[in-house]
A = this chain, B = another copy of it.
Amino acid sequence: MKKITVSMLMLFSVITSAQKLKKDIFHIPGHENVEEYIGYNHAVKVGKTVYISGTVNGMTDDMESQLKAIYQRLNETLENYGITTENVVKEVIYTTNLDEFKTYIPLRKEFYKGNYPTATWVQVDRLFIPKLTVEIELVAVLP
């Protein structure tokens, strides 16, 4: 009787653990509190797919500095999962000024190093705070 109960408990435990999604979460270092306050995770890996939040940087006002800081954050994020731009398959760029963004294509190419994802670039009204000019969202996949 006892044996059956223990077996059932073990079975229940296996079923329960199987039902819980395994997520590998990444926060931008030093941003843990901001992410908790707003309510999001900078990146989440499930299975072989890494979803990366729309990444911004509001330390400066100009697009070039914002972009450089964004690419640094994206590199840290990819490195955390042991991957590179070779693994990035999808990019959405939201900017408040597409013509200006296009002048930074060389900067973007330095980030990708010849490994290009699919891309969607749109000009929107506004991002999270008024001074933000560009936001980059990625999906990456592990081998």
A119: CB under 8 A from chain B?
Answer: yes
A23: CB under 8 A from chain B?
Answer: yes
Q: Bin chain A's interface residue count.
A: 35 or more
Known: A47-B48, A87-B21. A135 touches B120 (CB 8 A): yes
A122: CB under 8 A from chain B?
Answer: yes
Binding site of A, secondary structure by majority: helix, strand, loop or mixed? mixed
Q: How far is the CA of A142 from the CA of B19 in the complex (A)?
A: 8
A-B contact pairs, 15 of them (CB 8 A): A20-B143, A21-B141, A21-B142, A35-B116, A39-B105, A39-B109, A39-B112, A40-B116, A41-B117, A42-B118, A47-B48, A51-B139, A94-B120, A94-B122, A122-B125
